[in-house]
Amino acid sequence: MSGAPRVEAGTAKQGSLRIESHRHGSAGTLRLRGAVDVTATPELQSAFRSLADAGTTDLTVDLREVELIDSAALGTLVHMRRQLAYRGGALRLAGVPLDIRRLFAVTGLDRLFTLG
Domain of residue 53 covers 7-111
116 falls within a domain: no
Helix axes 41-53, 71-86, angle to 10 degrees: 10
99 located within any domain: yes
Check which CATH number belongs to the domain holding 55 and give it.
3.30.750.24
- Which residues on adjacent β-strands are paired with residue 34? 17, 66
Number of domains in the chain: 1
Which tens digits make up the pLDDT trace of 41-74?
Answer: 999 999 999 999 999 999 999 999 999 999 999 9
Across 8-12, 92-96, 106-110, least confident range: 8-12
Closest CA to 41 of 7, 79, 6: 79
The answer to whether residue 47 is domain-embedded is yes
What distances in angstroms separate CA 72 from CA 6, 40, 69, 105, one per listed residue? 32, 9, 8, 16
The helices-and-strands tally (H runs, E runs) of the chain is 3, 5
Give the pLDDT band (50/70/90) at residue 16.
Answer: confident
